[in-house]
Amino acid sequence: AAGVIQSPRHLIKEKRETATLKCYPIPRHDTVYWYQQGPGQDPQFLISFYEKMQSDKGSIPDRFSAQQFSDYHSELNMSSLELGDSALYFCASSPTGLAGDTQYFGPGTRLTVL
């Protein structure tokens, strides 16, 4: 079965650079969630989208922005990167966004900021 696809899988950037992470949800899933997992930490919710509209916002820095496109893929844009942004970034999708739905996680993008 198709899974959530994230690209790139690994990304190395310098401080103050920008990065764009992409997420392709499972087909016919219209809800996308982004999570950040720092080294040795639990995943933290950043932001979510339902039908191309932002549906919830967590601890996402102002330097980050995200959107969901007409084909339901989502991009997380990160500017003025800091060392502390080094983390594993997960995208998840669910069929309807309803609270009872299982969220299916992608393999993650490992961002390293030097």
Partner 1 sequence: SQQGEEDPQALSIQEGENATMNCSYKTSINNLQWYRQNSGRGLVHLILIRSNEREKHSGRLRVTLDTSKKSSSLLITASRAADTASYFCATVGLKTSYDKVIFGPGTSLSVIP
* Residues making contact with partner 1 (CB under 8 A): 31, 33, 35, 41-45, 48, 50, 55-56, 58, 88, 90, 92, 96-100, 102-108, 110
Rounded CA separation 90/106 (Å): 6
DSSP assignment of 43-76: -EEEEEEETTEEEEE-S--TTEEEEE-TTS-EEE
**Smallest distance, partner 1 to C-beta of residue 12, A:** 15
β-bridge pairing 19-24 and 5-7: antiparallel
Instruction: Please say which residue, 44 or 79, places its beta carbon nearer to partner 1.
Output: 44
**Smallest distance, partner 1 to C-beta of residue 83, A:** 18
**Smallest distance, partner 1 to C-beta of residue 45, A:** 4
